[in-house]
Structure 1
Amino acid sequence: MPTVRTEIDVDAPPEIVWQLITAPDGRDWDPFFARIAGTLEPGERLDVALCATYGGMRFRPRVDVADAPHELVWTGRFLIPGLVDGRHGFRLTRRAGGGTHLEHREEFRGLLVPLAGRVVRDAGAGFAAFNSALKARAEHPDTAPATA
């Protein structure tokens, strides 16, 4: 099963990083997610939309783990279960010297995954862009450039 995994260290506490990841609005800094909204509790559905650069897709994944400010995991599906399923996660770890280590990942499964190579590659680029923008916003909230 293909997995996209990215990591970044952020010089801000996990609480700030969590707030940025889970904010439904005010995502002008975010080049990947246009929206992440809903009740952050296991079993609940979220309203997630990708920015136009990454296809503008909108989906309603189910929350698997919501442990603020440590981990958020959801599972989304393309059309019907088993075609392309993605388990998306953010793991935030407080660094010993301060700040946060962010692991951002997605595991892909399903019948069409072997044909979805471009989707997996684009996800990796999107996660890296998200991580860099999140770091800039968390570390310099007044000066981080907004995405267009």
Structure 2
Amino acid sequence: MEVSSEKLVIGFVAIFLLGVMFAVVNGIYTEEVDQSLPLIMYAISFVSIIIGGFVVMLFQWKINKVQLEKVLKILPEIQRKIVKVLIKNNNALEQNRIVALTGINKVKISRVLMELEQREVIKRTNLGNTKLIVLKI
């Protein structure tokens, strides 16, 4: 799963704001009680951040899986077959291997891959005499 730079920035800002909030709360607590916050408060906060991160990752994974299923429903049968082959092979495969695994002729595969590239479902890059096909979704 790839994390976008926007999500990273939001995550760092949230952690920074949490740190500022702890500093303010610690200052207020120190003025009133004349002691700093107990270490258990910091430990509970750290564990909460870790658990929250895992929950967010699980929801994001489920959302990505649902989106992929929706995309597969939209695609025509031959395109769906190629995308499924790519998914089974870690989202990247050489074009000649796709021909071998699907049993579809080279010309048809080439045309279908051009259509998928226009839809921005895949990315094709030259790899010697063949092309490397990478799933973008």
TM-score by length of 1: 0.29
Higher normalized strand content (fraction of residues): 1
TM-score by length of 2: 0.30
Q: RCO greater where, 1 or 2, for CA within 8 Å and sep 6 or more?
A: 1
Higher normalized helix content (fraction of residues): 2
